[in-house]
Amino acid sequence: MTTGVDLGVPATQAIRSDEDVVRVRQLVRTTAVAVRLSLVDQTKLVTAASELARNTLIYGGGGSAEVTTVSDGRRRGVRIVFADQGPGIPDLDLALTDGYTTGGGLGLGLSGARRLVDDFDIRTAVGEGTEITITKWSR
């Protein structure tokens, strides 16, 4: 589940090409530095964002990433929402299994990204698209 309140204006990056995935990484990195996540947490978040942005591009046929600074009163964090209007994920449990892939990758994208962040929330409907929300909190 996602908790906390939004702070500031979210920054949105369209994901239409390879270069956009790089831009998402850079946007997430800048935001993570701004809320003072530790170096390891920054790295984990940017890596997770990179995996999910690539998924949005390859499986979702493109979409967007919305990066927001959030706070739950005690800690600050970074929240990213990846959204696409692609085919959706028919079997979510299977897609979240380590090593499962339909795209010829290592099958670590979704399951790996979930392990790298604190909150992971996924909503998907076949034929309508997928929305994944991840949050990483400062310690």
Partner 1 sequence: MERVPILKIGDILLVSILVDMSDQTAVQLQEDLAERIVATGCHGVIIDITALDIVDSFVGRMLSTIASISKVLDAETVVVGMRPAVAITLVELGLSLNGIRTALNVERGMELIAASRADDWDAVLVDDEDTETATP
Q: Which residues bind partner 1 (CB under 8 A)?
A: 18-19, 21-22, 25-26, 29, 39-40, 42-44, 46-47, 50-51, 54, 98, 105-106, 108-109, 111-112, 115-116
Least Å from the CB of residue 76 to partner 1: 19
Least Å from the CB of residue 50 to partner 1: 4
**Contact assessment for residue 127 and residue 88, using Cβ atoms and an 8 Å cutoff:** yes
Q: How far apart are CA 76 and CA 66, in angstroms?
A: 17
| Residue number with CB closer to partner 1 (23 or 71) | 23
Q: How far apart are CA 112 and CA 90, in angstroms?
A: 19
Bridge-based pairing of strands 76-84 and 5-15 is: unpaired
Least Å from the CB of residue 92 to partner 1: 19
